[in-house]
Amino acid sequence: MEKKRCAYSECGGPMNLPRAGARFCSSKCRVYAHRSEKRFPAEMTARERWVRRTESKRPVTVSGRPASSTDSRTWASFETARKSSVGAGMGFVLGGGIGCYDFDHCFENGHLADWAVEAIRAIPERVIFSELSQSSDGVHVFVEAAEGPGRKIRDGRNIERYTAGRYIAVTGRRFKL
Ligand SMILES: [Zn+2]
């Protein structure tokens, strides 16, 4: 059993003297977390494809058992996952028409790298939601996409595209080009 952490993904700090059922280390974290969770679009929140995740980014169920991105019995509704105090944040399981481009290490001196700007602009699918990754060094671009095999582009860049069988550790920190 991992030690309980603040459920606001940007904090993830230890819970000092946690009350039973408490999810956040402070009221500040609670307010910030609720703000970012509200940013997910209905297209995502309406689906029962949500999990919790540990600090080490393993997906877990709302009751703390290992979750699988290929076993829908381990997923939950957005509200159930959001209210859960398990782990260090939320995850969204790709599939059912929603895929994601995962851009890693795409910032240089606080600015989105040119290759990433070009790649994001060139995304052919309809974009559903874009957010900063937990490290703030990456971007997730959720798109409307049929399920299919994943793709990695690693010619000096770091882009992965998945449409099924994967989950994304989400932050809700909206990102705009
Ligand atoms: Zn906190």
Q: What is the pLDDT along the chain (177 residues), one digit of tens a residue?
A: 456 788 787 788 888 776 777 888 888 988 888 887 778 999 999 999 999 999 889 999 999 999 999 999 999 999 999 988 898 889 999 999 999 999 999 998 889 999 999 999 999 999 999 999 988 899 999 999 999 999 998 777 889 999 999 999 999 999 988
Taking alpha carbons only, the member of 96, 4, 101, 15 closest to residue 52 is 4
Q: Helix, strand, or coil here: 133?
A: coil
Nearest to 88 by CA among 142, 33, 141: 33
| pLDDT at site 18 | 67
Using the mean position of ligand 1's atoms as its centre, give its distance from the Cα of residue 166 in Å. Answer: 27
Identify each DSSP E strand in 19-84 by its residue range: 50-53, 59-60
> What is the Å distance from ligand 1's center to 16 Cα?
10
Residue 167 CB coordination number (10 Å): 25
Contact 127, 101 (CB under 8 A): no
Q: What is the pLDDT of residues 18-41, one digit of tens each?
A: 677 788 888 898 888 888 777 899
pLDDT at 116: 94
Q: How far apart are the first and last CA of the chain?
A: 39
Residue 9 CA to ligand 1 center (angstroms) comes to: 8
DSSP state for residue 10 in the 8-state scheme: T
Ion ligand 1: protein residues whose beta carbon lies under 5 Å: 6, 8, 11, 13, 25, 29
Determine the distance separating the centroid of ligand 1 and the alpha carbon of 150, expressed in angstroms. Answer: 34
Query: How many angstroms is it from 24 CA to the middle of ligand 1?
Result: 5
Tokens of 129: 């939601």
Q: What is the pLDDT of residue 8?
A: 82
What is the rounded CA–CA span in Å between residue 167 and residue 93?
4
Non-local CB neighbours of 12 within 8 Å, separated by 6+ positions:
5, 6, 55, 88, 89
| pTM summary value | 0.86
Number of separate helices (H) and strands (E) present in the chain: 4, 11
